[in-house]
Structure 1
């Protein structure tokens, strides 16, 4: 049973100072780069030492040690406490995955904690030997993290992608959002925005018509079309989320700070070399984006080259070799301005 933690339950015990960080075999703490969160919490991450045998932990940049502000972090983000089985040997039999949010982020069907991540998390906080349940607490938070406290102190751990095969549940109605008439289980705002663009593209530029939303699968949303073929919306959604359909929305000045200098580039009525719906070798132009690119030239007299660019996102059906409708989303870049050597 998951229980909502109260303020009095938020553990703040056992937080050593920076020079008393736990010794993790094969890992070193990045004390030179502490992270400070909006709620005031300070934590440090770790990295593996090269050519050394190391503890099996969630992975670099996926966990951090809490230096201070644990109670504040839990008050700001804590959702519920997770019940931990008595022994490691029972984790896979007694622990069911806990879902933080339904999303195709990181090629899963949801984000949360399963038995594998729970074991890594507990071992991180407890070290070798038996679990000290008097010291151990695991909390799910609303910002895609877990908080775990144990004999070694307190840690923040990223939740993990959960695969469809490990879940014996489907997204409840409360976890679904209406996107242009399709009810979709997707919590990530960028993916929601990408799905809006995806549906608009098929409405305006693609030959098959989307007729219904079918289901969530690992790393993709599955739609049905009037041809009977399914369409998958997956990794393209991040790209689609960044673009705008109306090129005039991008007109204006863009500033970029580099080495103490501020460079300005202007997107005006003469900038765009393609219009919405234009056909290119990468397909139909379906959106626009402004980007900056920075390059260092080590073997030349140019110390750096900074470019302001117009990006044109294109949609193109692929040869239909599969049972589903296949397509690609690519981009063309057009140079607006170039700055070099502090110019």
Structure 2
């Protein structure tokens, strides 16, 4: 006997949701879709440049990524939806009801400007007005198919439009928000731990793991729980310790920590390398023999957590300097929490003058 999930795996997304699509040529009016393009195998006409449409509250600026008018056949659209379709999302009955639109989260990303990528009321309204030309609409005649991080599908009597998801705030529906389990070993006690975190970006997850283990090893502050940053990079992740204290760290810091090299021999210029300078045809030969401090060492009262190498622009863009940075995780006491930030010590390896 097959289970429901087994049955659904053999039935296409469009069949399960009884979806049909009728692509048409783009309208011959003020909406301009002149450029031929291809979205995951679907032939489209892309919106020309930046255009404005009248929204329910203000004029809305539409970028080329907001409008791809599908000119392919219905079967191709069906195949796209079968491969990428994630949910048939409800469309508000009227424009005045858009304030209550439940955001769709396609992918949470702690490295983005906001909580993640998906569909909010503004993005849906832009797509709907591009498809319909504005004015009233019969919501029963339109279908919205959310496709994760891929462009969503908006279908109606006028035709089919693809539109890229954008940055959205955290959905009110907690069930949409991803929860991952970070596992590792507590360095002090050599015991395994599991921590439920609201995050999907693998680099940020790596940063959380290193942060948790650094606090345990250096600061003797085992972490017991985590609260996500609601607005991503510009906000903070909060952690509760087993001592019932709160610590916080920015999503940007976790993203950086997750990308650092933890062993000096993994840094690309260790032992010597030829590196291309930015905005130049010049290359420089450099050699880095290793750091003054190693990961886990305490330097200036804070632990070293990793290394990276990059070009820095100095002297009003007249000089590019290649540096290896040794990063420390520094604690700053605040009123009710401890804030952890990164501080780096730079070693200059070479420079290029721009004239």
Structure 2 residue aligned with 1:301: none
Contact 1:307–1:336, Cα closer than 8 Å, also in 2:
yes
What is the correspondence of 1:174-213 to structure 2 with a 5 Å cutoff? 175-180=179-184, 181-205=194-218, 207-213=219-225
Structure 2 residue aligned with 1:131: 137
What is the correspondence of 1:239-250 to structure 2 with a 5 Å cutoff? 239-250=256-267
What stretches of structure 2 of length at least 5 have no aligned partner?
A: 1-11, 185-193
Structure 2 residue aligned with 1:113: 119
| Cα distance between partner residues in 2 of 1:36 and 1:68 | 10
Contact 1:15–1:153, Cα closer than 8 Å, also in 2:
no
Pairwise CA RMSD:
4.3
Alignment of 1:330 onto 2:347: no
| Cα distance between partner residues in 2 of 1:41 and 1:273 | 56
What stretches of structure 1 of length at least 5 have no aligned partner?
A: 299-303
With over 3 angstroms needed to count, the CA separation of the structure-2 counterparts of 1:222 and 1:12, relative to structure 1, is: farther
2:90 to 59, 83, 88: 83
With over 3 angstroms needed to count, the CA separation of the structure-2 counterparts of 1:273 and 1:104, relative to structure 1, is: same
Contact 2:226–2:239, Cα closer than 8 Å, also in 1:
yes
Deviates more, 1:195-204 or 1:239-248: 195-204
SS in 1 for 2:337: coil
TM-score (norm 2): 0.69
What is the correspondence of 1:1-343 to structure 2 with a 5 Å cutoff? 4-5=13-14, 9=19, 11=21, 13-16=23-26, 23=30, 39=41, 44=46, 48=50, 56-57=59-60, 63-66=66-69, 71=77, 74=81, 76-93=83-100, 95-104=101-110, 106=112, 111-131=117-137, 133=139, 136-143=142-149, 145-149=151-155, 151=158, 154-163=161-170, 167-170=172-175, 175-180=179-184, 181-205=194-218, 207-219=219-231, 220-233=236-249, 234-252=251-269, 253=273, 255-256=275-276, 261=281, 263=283, 265-268=285-288, 270-278=289-297, 283-293=302-312, 305-318=319-332, 320-340=333-353
| Cα distance between partner residues in 1 of 2:349 and 2:20 | 53
TM-superposed deviation, 1:209: 0.9
TM-superposed deviation, 1:111: 4.3
With over 3 angstroms needed to count, the CA separation of the structure-2 counterparts of 1:282 and 1:236, relative to structure 1, is: farther
| Cα distance between partner residues in 2 of 1:328 and 1:85 | 43
TM-superposed deviation, 1:340: 4.0
| Cα distance between partner residues in 1 of 2:45 and 2:345 | 41
TM-score (norm 1): 0.71
SS in 2 for 1:239: helix
